Chains A and B, each alone.
Chain A
Amino acid sequence: MKFLVVDDSATMRRIVVNSLQRIGHTDVVEAGDGAEALSKFDASIGFVITDWNMPNMSGTELARALRARDDAKSIPILMVTARSVKEDILAAMESGVNSYIVKPFTPQVLKEKIDGMQPAGAV
């Protein structure tokens, strides 16, 4: 399965990508913000991991934009963000995010979330 990792921090993108590789996911596309992610999104993408606070287009805006597309209505979206106020989490949920990881995270948490969001049989 191909992952789309979206974060404006190059450091965070590398950490997420390395964590994905560590748990066996090596097919990854990267984007620096929501707008770039939308431009790179295609039918081959099977999972989106996105930050919230980004210039140009935030993670919640990206989630809304994806949910508005026919080819991304049901794609799993995992938000990885430093925001952890209850209202923010609810707002992320409302935007169409399926699951939520609070930074700093551990690879174990990332694996649990991905496993929990993947449809049965997905690789």
Chain B
Amino acid sequence: MAPRRADELLYDSEATLRLVDNELVELRGQSSPSSCQPDDNTDAYIVKAPSAIAALPRMLQRANAEINNMLQTLRQSRSALEQSTVQKLQATHSKLREVTSATEDAATSILDALDRTQGLLDALDTEDAGKSERSVSLRAAMRDELFDMMGKLQFQDITSQQLAYASSILTDMETRLAQIAVIFDLSDLGMEPLPPEPLSGPVAFDPHASTKNADERQKVADELFSSACEPDKGDA
């Protein structure tokens, strides 16, 4: 059976529950206490509500059928949850790992290229030694730019921590959904919930890692270390 959309299943579940509720209201209406007080005289109540009692087996049968439909819907919900949502979470988790790996590879390639460029500048320094002050200053400026570019690659470490944090949230959601699926397992369905995939990739991360406001955050750290007064530390 093709997995049904979660909103369709929810709608069906609600509709089923509404039908059961209607049946119960109908039953209550036919044996309304206003026409008869069963506590006062049970025999009179039975006599005055014969049609309701006669209809009771049929109503219970209908209620039973509706409840069975609802259970079936819940089973489908569980199946949809496992086959669709959990698998999508696992796929997203996998994508995040792929992004982390791709950015790390790219950062490494860029660092290699920067190293090679530095080497080329060193070669130019040797060839042009003493020839032109202007070219020396230009190469020095280029080195500064290359070095600055290298520093900017710190974004890779920070974003990988952010992605690891997002992955951990997904893993947590996946576990919780699997637990919900177990609750939905109201009868022997012969299905086991999908076990959450163990978190792989970077397991150590800072949930607050950010590339923003580094100066302000550095200032806070400096103030804390200054206020702690550390004359004994660091005196190797």
**Residues of chain A having any CB pair with chain B under 8 Å:** 7-12, 14-15, 18-19, 22, 46-47, 52-55, 58, 74-76, 81-86, 88-90, 93, 96, 98-107, 109, 116-119, 122
Q: Tell me the bound Cα distance from A118 to B235 in angstroms.
A: 7
Complex contact B224–A53 (CB within 8 A)? no
Q: Which of A88, A98, A104 contacts B155 (CB 8 A)?
A: A104
Complex contact B204–A11 (CB within 8 A)? no
- A and B contact pairs by CB, cutoff 8 A, 12 listed: A12-B157, A14-B108, A22-B147, A53-B161, A54-B204, A76-B233, A102-B218, A103-B214, A104-B151, A104-B158, A117-B234, A119-B235
Q: Is the interface of B mostly helix, strand, loop or mixed?
A: helix
Complex contact B154–A103 (CB within 8 A)? yes
Residues of A within 8 A of B218 (CB): 84, 101-102, 105, 109
Q: Which of B153, B156, B206, B210 contacts A53 (CB 8 A)?
A: B206
Asked if A10 meets B108 with Cβ closer than 8 Å, knowing A89-B221, A102-B218, A104-B154, the reply is: yes
Asked if A119 meets B206 with Cβ closer than 8 Å, knowing A11-B153, A84-B221, A99-B225, the reply is: no
CB of A56, distance to nearest CB on chain B (Å)? 9
Asked if A15 meets B208 with Cβ closer than 8 Å, knowing A90-B224, A104-B214, the reply is: no
Q: Does B217 contact A (CB under 8 A)?
A: yes
CB of B173, distance to nearest CB on chain A (Å)? 22
Complex contact B224–A15 (CB within 8 A)? no
Q: Mark B170-214, 1 if CB is under 8 A from A, else 0.
A: 000000000000000000000000000000001111101111001
Q: Which 6 A-B pairs have the closest CB atoms?
A: A84-B217, A82-B209, A53-B204, A104-B154, A98-B234, A117-B234
Complex contact A105–B104 (CB within 8 A)? no
